Amino acid sequence: MTRPDPEFLWYYVTHDGPYPWEPEGRRDIRLPDITALASALDRLPYSGALLSTTGHNVWVTGTAAAAVTRDFRPLLALRPQFTSVTELANMAISFDDLFDGRLLINVINSETPVWRQHGIRLENDERYDLHAEYWEVFNRLVAGETVTYRGRYVDVENARGNPWVEPRRDHIPLWFSGSSPKALDVAGRFADAYLTFSEPLEQLNEKTAAVREKAAQYGRSPRIGLRASLITGATDEDAWRKADRLLAATSRATLDRKLGLIAKGGNGGGTSVTQSRVFAHLPAKALDVLRDGGLPAARDLAHDDNLWPGISLLQQGPPMALVGGYDSIAARLREYHAAGVDIFILDSLPLLEGAYEVAEHILPAFKTP
């Protein structure tokens, strides 16, 4: 049986530029830049974009993007309990009403230090217990219910999402990620789409099978999405030369800081099961070269011909990139699609130029004849 064509989204963040992890590689992004990227994505073959927590607040950038587009669907990255569940439901209903039912929510868990910045002292498994309560109440509120709920983390009485605005639809799609047993259970219960980073196919298949098994216990069947940074060019050699230039442009301070974070098993000063899974693919020999003050070739930090965990030493985003020429990247994405991936969330820096390059040179490989 032929699978439906995959859906493509882009990545949307105001921390942008040729190599934005360094000040000299970062653009000064202003409102015209935000709307220009949104308008471009609305014309290109992307259904929307994931709006990251890096840079400006996602509700602000999401509103700016939705206001200048017709079909663009903003996938807002949000953490529960940073906003009360009733207020978040109000914001979601309001946004969805004004922008024609286009809102998507990407639920993120982050690491313990990030939560502590917001005054919340919960460890990984406790946070997923919070997720379960929060999103249960959220779903009921955005469906128009009046909710009284007494939980350990969520306690509301006669709550309504928005008493003045009728919900445009009875459900706002929730996209989840995470690799721990608790994360997989909560995703199985609530996720309309489950997102993972690019990984070796066998490892990805194990994770998505676990998600589907959990979801089946709740009578659900989420779509599977893959989040990947691309470093690409006309040929494989072009792409690897680009990866070498990115590595060479990265300061010693950044490399040392990232090596420290990787040693802890996370990307935000804590530990992350998902990040640790990817870090395990970093070649030990190349890491030793870095720790000794040297700079290995980009290929020395590769897992295979295309999977490059070396990106985790540079950027804040996905810890695994796909590196290769246009044909090689398209072939790798087709492998993931054949394995059950329904959605791809891609990026290539800088984001505006990258969106056109990928749309013009890679996505045509997925057009149904």
Amino acid 316: pLDDT = 80
β-pairing verdict for 307-308 and 321-325: antiparallel
206 lies in a domain?
yes
12 lies in a domain?
yes
Higher pLDDT, 120 or 217: 217
CA–CA dist 344, 227 (Å, integer): 6
Residue 367 scores a pLDDT above 90 = no
Task: For residue 253, count other CB atoms closer than 10 A to its CB.
Answer: 9
Summarize pLDDT for 42-62 with one digit per residue, the tens: 999 999 999 998 889 999 999
CA–CA dist 250, 25 (Å, integer): 9
CA–CA dist 321, 229 (Å, integer): 5
Higher pLDDT, 61 or 367: 61
The answer to whether the pTM exceeds 0.75 is yes
pLDDT category at 278 given cuts 50, 70, 90 is confident
Percent of the chain residues topping a pLDDT of 70: 91
Cite the DSSP H helix spans in 272-362.
273-279, 284-291, 326-338, 351-361
- DSSP code per residue over 157-199: EEEES-TTS--SSS---EEE---SHHHHHHHHHH-SEEEEE--
Handedness of CA 188, 191, 197, 202 (dihedral sign): positive
Tallying the residues shown for the chain, one arrives at 369
CA–CA dist 118, 103 (Å, integer): 25
Cis check: omega of the bond before 222, within 30 degrees of 0: no
Name the amino acid, one letter, at 214.
Answer: K
Handedness of CA 170, 175, 181, 182 (dihedral sign): negative
Q: How many domains does the chain have?
A: 1
160 lies in a domain?
no
55 lies in a domain?
yes
CA–CA dist 346, 264 (Å, integer): 27
211 lies in a domain?
yes
Residue 270 scores a pLDDT above 80 = no
- What is the residue whose two structure tokens read 């024609």? 100
84, containing H or E segment:
none
Residue 179 scores a pLDDT above 60 = yes
Q: What average pLDDT does range 275-291 have in this prediction?
A: 85
Summarize pLDDT for 107-163 with one digit per residue, the tens: 987 566 665 665 666 666 788 888 899 999 999 999 999 999 999 999 999 999 999
- Domain holding 331, by residue range, is 7-78+173-236+319-366
Q: What average pLDDT does range 62-89 have in this prediction?
A: 93
93 lies in a domain?
no
Percent of the chain residues topping a pLDDT of 90: 78
Amino acid 123: pLDDT = 67
CA–CA dist 80, 241 (Å, integer): 41
Summarize pLDDT for 311-330 with one digit per residue, the tens: 999 998 788 999 999 999 99
Q: Tell me the CATH number at 16.
A: 3.20.20.30
- DSSP code per residue over 13-43: -SS-SSSTTSGGG-----HHHHHHHHHHHHH
152 lies in a domain?
no
- What is the residue whose two structure tokens read 């653009």? 27
182 lies in a domain?
yes
- The upper half-sphere exposure of residue 46, i.e. CA atoms within 13 Å in the direction of its Cβ, equals 33
